[in-house]
Structures are given as C-alpha cells and as structure tokens.
Amino acid sequence: MSNPIAVFNDVSKFYSGRLGIDGISFRVNYGEIVGCIGPNGAGKTTISKLMAGLLKPTRGMVKVFSENPFNNVNIKFRIGLLLDFDSMYDELTVYDNLLFLSRVYNLDAGRSKLKDLLRQVGLENELDTIVGKLSKGMRRRLSFVGALIHNPELLILDEPLVFLDLTWQERIKRLIKSLRDEGKTIFITSNDLVLIDDLAEKIILLDKGRLVIQGVKSEIKEMLSRGVVKVTFFDEENFVLAVNAFKSNALSFWVNKEKLEIFVDSHPNKIAEILMRVNCRFKSIGVEESSLEEVYRKFVSE
C-alpha cells in the first residue's frame, strides 16, 4: 500500500503546561518495523499513546489508517498495544483475562485458540494460573499475547523486553520479526538500543520531547560513519591525555572509558597529528562503522 499507516504532522503534546513532545513529524509505512529511541522523558510513551488514540494532541495532526485515532473505536480494533505496564486482573486466571479481552474485541476465543496463542510465549500450561501468581516476566509475555489476541494490523510496543530474561528477550525478538514477515507493521519504543538495532529498519531519535534525527537506520549509520574515527589506547594515562587534547582542539567526540576507546568526528590524519603533538601513545586508529549506540550518543544531550 502506498499510503502510510501512521502520520504525525507537527504534533505537540503538553501536560498542564509541561512539555511532552514538541513539533514531531514522521511517517510509519505498512509492513515495516520502526524503532523510537531516546532517554527517559524524551516523549516515547507519549508518542505511543497518541498513535494508539489514548491521548489527544495539543497541536498538530495524528492520522492512523487515514483517520484521527483519538477515541476512535474502529481504529482500536486494528491496533495491538503493549504499554510499559500490564492491565491484567490479578485475581483472575490467565484464561479468564484473555477471555475478557477476546470479548472486548468481539471474538469467539475458546481454550484451544487461547492455548495456541500462549504457546508463542511459552505460557500454554498456565491457562488456569491466577495472574497474580505469575512472575513479572511471565506477566510481560502474557501482556504480549493480549496485544496480539485480535490479530491487529499495527502493533505498538512500548519496552517489549522489560522484565524478560535473556532467553526470552531473544525469543520475543524472533516473534516480532515473524510478525513483520506476516505483514504486520510494528512501532517499538525502547531504551534498549540493541533491540532497536537488531529489529528496526527505520529509527526515530527523540531528546527532551523533540525529534533529533529520523530515517532509514542503515543510511543514518553510514552517514555518521564518514569521519567517525575510533581510537583505542594502551592505558588510562594516554586515554586522559587524548581527551584533553581533543577538548583543546574543539573536536566533537564521545568515549567508552571501560574499553579505553574514543570516537572522534574528524579525519584520522588530523586526529593522529593532534595525538603526536602531545606525545600520546595509542593502540589503534581507524574509521569505525557507527553502531546505534554511537548514533544515540552523538545526538542525545547528557
């Protein structure tokens, strides 16, 4: 389909005068995974709730399936929403919670169908378990099923891997990929840069409620890799010497102190010349392909 599934056009949201997001514009196309990243308070959850129709923008336009999603019942039937908290009833069983959700969506879901859904997240033997007795990780996986139960076209996933152990993080990532392969559109908000780097084709980077950079992930990383040089040092003494030298020469850089690495936005020859002038010994120097973490650290203010 040529039309985007979701459009934000100069969208702002304020909470009693406090900034949520300001002047955000982007599009999500059918069948792609888009990752929205940024520090806490950047506006990621606000965007998820606006897209799901749970919030009304203060200014600007939000369209989902070419309609205004706010309080739009028809749109809600086409969206699967996983927020950073679950809305399951502690006193009910897994089966009763999912049965309640299926009735909300006017579905006829029997035990067999629900068990098949639960099998995707390893909970097929927990149908009769009281939800309040589940671990946080199991509840998170159950909430994922709740977002899928009505076979939505658009999945909005806010921190989908929170509370999950490493094994289940990998399994849920594989499940998300398989859902995309089935034709679903997936919008993920997360602080987990590895998750977004592994799954997303496009990224949206937010900082303090504003859009910093957006686009195809590979193109952004390729653009930033030009002139981004990684310098590795033998010891902390030379590492600190280099940091001070780069500051004195007004170079843009960020550091990985644990690995004694500095990433510098400049040409390798210029960097080597600066280091030699201050008698700084380094282990290696070379152009580095940017990881998503490096993109993040380049654009997000501390």
Domains of the chain: which residue ranges? 6-216, 226-299
- What mean pLDDT is predicted for residues 173-178? 97
Contact 265, 279 (CB under 8 A): no
- What mean pLDDT is predicted for residues 132-155? 96
CATH class of 226-299: alpha beta
pLDDT band of 224, cuts 50, 70, 90: low
Please indicate whether residue 215 or residue 43 has the higher confidence score (pLDDT): 43
The one-character DSSP state at 120 is T
Strand partners for 233: 282
Q: Which two tokens stand for residue 71?
A: 């309080």
- Angstrom CA distances, 271 to 235, 241, 251, 298, stand at 18, 13, 9, 18
What is the residue type of 223?
A: M
Q: Are strands 154-158 and 33-37 parallel, antiparallel or unpaired?
A: unpaired
pLDDT single digits (tens) 190-212: 988 889 999 999 999 998 899 88
Q: Which two tokens stand for residue 248?
A: 């004195």
Domain 6-216 has CATH 3.60.20.10: no
The pTM of this model reads: 0.78
pLDDT at 249: 87
